[in-house]
């Protein structure tokens, strides 16, 4: 594989790989190092990666594995925040409501298993298809669907419970 082919195949993935790495390690400098190391490893393997069916999935898997290795070394796991759409036009009330809901979702996500958090982020934030997530994680598609469904239901139930508690609190104080 020539340098130009390599650049065309992998450089457009740089930002996505960085976002994925930062979900694990939570520090931009560490995520940047992981992506840089991944590109270096890909470059070294450039002759054998011509045969890879999906280069993006291959690179994502490498980043995931490198991130997990880094976390094992650090022995710390931190929870990332969900992506916010910067183009959403907020009114002050929308902003307040959204930030309260956002905080509640973050808290609910912290209660999910690490696996459910990762799968939910890959599917709902990064937009990967189930078969791509399966290739990245090595989990079966059925396992992925079940875990994502359970994670979403868990978050939904927690948010509904909080909303009900607030309604009861409002009635008793009124």
CATH assignment of the domain containing 74: 1.10.1740
The angle at the Cα of 106, spanning 158 to 84, to the nearest 5 degrees, equals 125
With a CB cutoff of 8 Å and minimum separation 6, the contacts of 150 are 116
DSSP assigned state of 12 = G
CB 101 within 8 A of CB 159: yes
Q: So what's the pLDDT on residue 54?
A: 86
CA distance 151 to 171: 31
Phi/psi of residue 33, nearest 5 degrees = -65, -40
Mean pLDDT in residue range 4-16: 89
Kindly report, residue by residue over 127-163, the tens digit of the pLDDT.
788 888 898 889 999 999 999 999 988 988 888 887 7
Kindly report, residue by residue over 18-69, the tens digit of the pLDDT.
998 988 888 888 899 999 999 988 888 888 877 778 888 889 989 988 888 8
**Bigger pLDDT: 170 vs 69:** 69
pLDDT over 90 at 80, yes or no = no
Number of domains in the chain: 2
pLDDT over 80 at 172, yes or no = no
Kindly report the number of other CB atoms within 10 A of residue 20's CB atom. Answer: 25
Q: So what's the pLDDT on residue 4?
A: 85
Domain residue limits at 174: 99-174
CA distance 100 to 90: 14
With a CB cutoff of 8 Å and minimum separation 6, the contacts of 38 are 17, 59, 62, 63, 66
| Cα→Cα distances 105→21, 23, 41, Å | 21, 16, 36
Residues 75 and 1 occupy one common structural domain: yes
CA distance 148 to 116: 6
pTM for the model: 0.49
> Considering 92, 116, 151, which residue would you say is the last residue of a domain?
92
pLDDT over 50 at 86, yes or no = no
Say which CATH number the domain at 146 has. 1.10.10.10
Q: So what's the pLDDT on residue 85?
A: 43
Residues 38 and 112 occupy one common structural domain: no
Residues 77 and 136 occupy one common structural domain: no
pLDDT over 60 at 89, yes or no = no
CB 48 within 8 A of CB 3: no
The angle at the Cα of 161, spanning 142 to 113, to the nearest 5 degrees, equals 35
Q: So what's the pLDDT on residue 93?
A: 54
């Amino acid at each position: 594989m020539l340098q130009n082919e390599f650049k065309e195949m992998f450089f457009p993935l740089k930002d996505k790989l960085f976002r994925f790495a930062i979900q694990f390690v939570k520090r931009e400098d560490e995520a940047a190092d992981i992506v840089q190391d991944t590109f270096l490893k890909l470059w070294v393997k450039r002759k054998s990666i011509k045969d890879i069916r999906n280069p993006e999935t291959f690179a994502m898997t490498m980043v995931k594995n490198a991130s997990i290795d880094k976390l094992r070394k650090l022995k710390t796991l931190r929870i990332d925040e969900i992506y916010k759409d910067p183009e959403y036009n907020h009114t002050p009330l929308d902003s307040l409501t959204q930030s309260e809901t956002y905080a509640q979702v973050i808290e609910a996500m912290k209660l999910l298993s690490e696996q459910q958090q990762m799968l939910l982020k890959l599917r709902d934030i990064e937009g990967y298809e189930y078969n791509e997530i399966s290739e990245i994680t090595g989990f079966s598609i059925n396992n992925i669907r079940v875990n994502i469904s359970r994670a979403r239901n868990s978050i939904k139930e927690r948010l509904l419970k909080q909303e009900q508690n607030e309604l009861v609190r409002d009635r008793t104080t009124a």
